[in-house]
Chain A
Amino acid sequence: MDLKYVGKDIPRVDAYEKVTGTTKYMSDLSFDGMLWGKVLRSIHPHALIKSIDTSKAKALPGVEAVVTWEDVPGLNGFGIAIQDQPVLCKDKVRYAGDAVAAVAAVSKEIAEEAALLIEVEYEVLPVVDDPIRAIEPDSPKVHESGNILLHTEIRKGDIDKGFDEADLIIENTYYASRQEHAFLETEDGIALIEEDGTLTVYAGSHYPHRDQLQLSRCLNMPVEKIRVVSSPVGGAFGGKDELTIQPIMALLALKTGKPVKMVMPREESIISYWKRHPMIMIYRTGVKRDGTLVANDVKVYADTGAYASLGGPILNLALESSCGLYRIPHVHIDGYSVYTNNGISGAFRGFGVPQVTFAMESQMDIIAEKLGLDPIEFRRKNILKKGEVAPIGHHITTDVESEAVLDAMEGSRLWRERERYRGTDKNRPWIKRGVGLALSWQGMGLGVGLPDFGDAVIEMDPDGGFIVRVGCVEIGQGAMTVYAQVAAEALRFPIERIRVVIGDTRNAPDAGPTTASRAAYVGGKAIFLAAEEMNEKIKGYASGMLSVSPDEIEIDDGSAYVKTAKDKRVSYEEISSYAIERGGLPVAEGHFDLPTADKAIEGAFGLPHHIYSCCGQIAAVEVNTLTGQARVTDGAVVVDAGTVINQGGLEGQSEGGFVMGTGYALTEDLIIENGVVKTPNFSTYIIPTSKDMPSSIETIPVTNYESTGPFGAKGIGEIGMVPTAPAVTNAIYDAADIRVFKIPATGERIYELLKQKKGENK
């Protein structure tokens, strides 16, 4: 197909506003008579609430409302999967940061002062801070129901037989840290009551329609009376998937009848909201002498913190990918998602998969070295292909470009020239260099048994242009641009005259969450289907205007003409006037159901997925053996992308993912001790800066046409950071002969490992 917009170098449609500072994020909005909200949070990680006295706060001049659990009109609970998190705690707090009360006042300062005047009497309870200890029967309980949120066990083949067949068995325990999203815009927004009584909530998130549903439950209001606007977002990465400040702002707005704005201070944001699950992963992997994998026994403990949110689905997605993209006949996977008083864990780019990929791809590297095999050859020998049985027992029935990804990794500049990047620095002999790689796969979409669809609407405007409406959000990934490109291509219409409206429950139809790498794929496909219907309508009008049958009409570049007589044509401006005279402008709808697997995996809700993305990465690392400091100097990202809709967007996701992954590998660790966050700001929680950026990152897309996606595209948003950590730690091994079992591989940890190695060698 001759494409005009898809795959072309199209500038982002939101570019002008973003570089001029005129983009209005939710935190930039203000309204007349607006109040400021402030939350009072628990300082205790685990305690009973004996009493809450708000009288002094209420008496402070300038305070217009103080709310507690008593003011929650509906269900005092939210959570995407399980609604066990109180909007405002009633009798118990489960983490330091749990919301207890909130204030609305005429200024931010008065609101802050008033919050401190609320008197809460606590009875402190013992803290549960170790997920393995938490599942012991005598552990204090975070929830009445016990500390196990989810236990999933999956068996395939006969694990004992598998280990009997193995010539080599490698057993290790891996630890992955708690990662903070560190989006630059914290959880901010405004809630207000419209003249007609509608509650409007402006707050950045991944899914306005689900926020609307959750708010409706908490506030006991019909969804039609709630409007949520959640786009554009100043970064999210999964951290704004679950509700954050929305219900509290809404309560304050309902109580006062005035607009209430809240802006989370950075420290409060870090302490109070979502994180990547820390995981403890015990792996036992069996392999034959010739490099054939025969058995994998995986045990995962995920620390989900105080509330459920997406802890269950995250565990299951992690388990699905826990054995890598490999053919392994005998598998036993045993996973626990466990409540603790360690903050709250939830969705984060990769959704559990970066953790297990760190473990599995470290195992692969160790085995390849022990058997003297090339790491790519070893993976190729075991790689899972379409039609084969995955580790959790289902057949892979869609294209996952596993072999092509390995081929492209092998062909990448960094791998071909890896000898140039290895060895000891001549001038600084304490600098050791190495190259490592890792491969990953991840299910796209929400999984079997879950509603997973997208709707889009295309309207012709009175000037003969188009408005495209789709409910996903712009979190920075470039969704609006992709939507404009897909619409322009499918409508065969100039992109400049297409306006994209997203992220607003009133003005855009439900297209599901902007998560799971699904927004471009699902939203794009729904737009494509709506465009097909619109084209038919346009042909219908043109046939009336030109007095020929619709079959004889062709459309291109904003006009419709008779195929056999191209000078007989009408412009879309003329069509729009014609349509208005006949009752109204054309509107078309597209609905797309994301294809799911035929059969579910028993005992593992949501599994399997049906479409997978695959990504391989290579990292070159230098380790300073005097200080322990490691830095990533070069990278290569190979991603199974389907058709590339926007090359700049793809590179942005791949480079951004890779750099976020290097942070996860080397520095990022949200430390919680006895339930208290020790790293609540950017001087203690260290994310990569421009100085930490590799000098090159080569992005290589594998562009097999995905038959179900818009113009053959597939999602790539999450996978870009999934294999980075093990690529980096495998490179550290290559450089300095030390194996990292705990990420991040901070300077201190590497220094200790180097010291241990020195001791062993003596």
Chain B
Amino acid sequence: MKDIILKVNGRKYNLRIDESMTLLKVLREELELTGTKEGCGEGECGACTVLMDGKAVNSCLVLACEAEGHDITTIEGLADGELLSDIQEAFIEHQAFQCGFCTPGMIMTIKGFLDENPNPTEDEIEEAIAGNLCRCTGYKPIVAAVKDLVERRGNDGYNR
């Protein structure tokens, strides 16, 4: 067992955990942040994507104790209270989800990607989400939502 301090969505958590626990397991089972999903547990589907220091990672492949000292952002940390992020709004507008199970991971991947590359091409968007599997939508509305969002951000210089 190991004592760690994990910083998630701006809040610090003092935890005593087994060293073998993944970040995904700690988020879901210890912190009850169940917005982050387990789809495969082996880094093949992207459903568990969170941001670590702003970069998208598969939380099933990160050990929780190695996440200490880093800023973790999950889907629960994206909206500002009731105010949704513009990525979330674009997802609603474009019906960019169906069952919704891949959605939190997909949104976190997009968040990390757009923060690094605010003006991507369509190809770059498709490349960015290629590690996030979605079985319902066929991806089209997701890419459309991101394209639309990029355009809007460009127009009003607005980014939240």
Residues of A within 8 A of B (CB): 11-12, 14-25, 27-28, 30, 181-186, 232-237, 263, 265-266, 475-478, 648-649, 651-652, 655-660, 681-683, 687-691, 693, 697
Contact = CB atoms under 8 A, between A and B. Distances in A.
Contacts of B45: 184, 266, 682
A183 B45 CA distance: 11
- Give the one of B41, B135, B142 with max A CB within 10 A: B135
A682 B140 contact: no
Interface of B: 28-29, 32-42, 44-45, 47, 74-76, 78-79, 84, 88, 91-95, 97-104, 107, 125-127, 129-143
Given A23-B100, A266-B42, A682-B45, A185 B37 contact: yes
A655 B84 contact: no
B99 A235 contact: yes
Contact of B34 (A24, A265, A475, A660): A24
Contacts of A658: 138
A649 B103 CA distance: 16
B104 A690 contact: no
Q: Is the interface of B mostly helix, strand, loop or mixed?
A: loop
Contacts of B76: 20-22
- Give the one of B78, B131, B136 with max A CB within 10 A: B136
B123 to A, nearest CB: 9
Given A20-B88, A266-B40, A652 B75 contact: no
B17 to A, nearest CB: 13
Contacts of B138: 655-660, 688, 693, 697
B126 A478 contact: no
A657 B139 CA distance: 11
Contacts of A649: 95
Contacts of A657: 138
Given A476-B99, A689-B130, A11 B92 contact: yes
Contacts of B75: 20-21
Q: Is the interface of A mostly helix, strand, loop or mixed?
A: loop
B130 A690 contact: yes
A475 B130 CA distance: 23
A235 B95 CA distance: 16
A185 B45 CA distance: 11
Nearest to B28: A28
B3 to A, nearest CB: 19
B104 A21 contact: yes
A692 to B, nearest CB: 9
Contacts of A12: 92, 95
Contact of A19 (B47, B84, B127, B140): B84
Nearest to A682: B44
A690 B141 CA distance: 11
Contacts of B102: 184
B41 A184 contact: no
A27 B100 CA distance: 13
A683 B44 contact: yes
Contacts of A690: 125-127, 129-130, 132, 134, 139, 142-143
21 contacts: A18-B100, A20-B79, A20-B88, A21-B35, A21-B74, A28-B34, A233-B99, A234-B37, A235-B99, A237-B135, A266-B41, A475-B99, A652-B137, A655-B138, A656-B138, A682-B133, A687-B135, A688-B139, A689-B130, A690-B130, A693-B126
Contacts of B88: 19-20
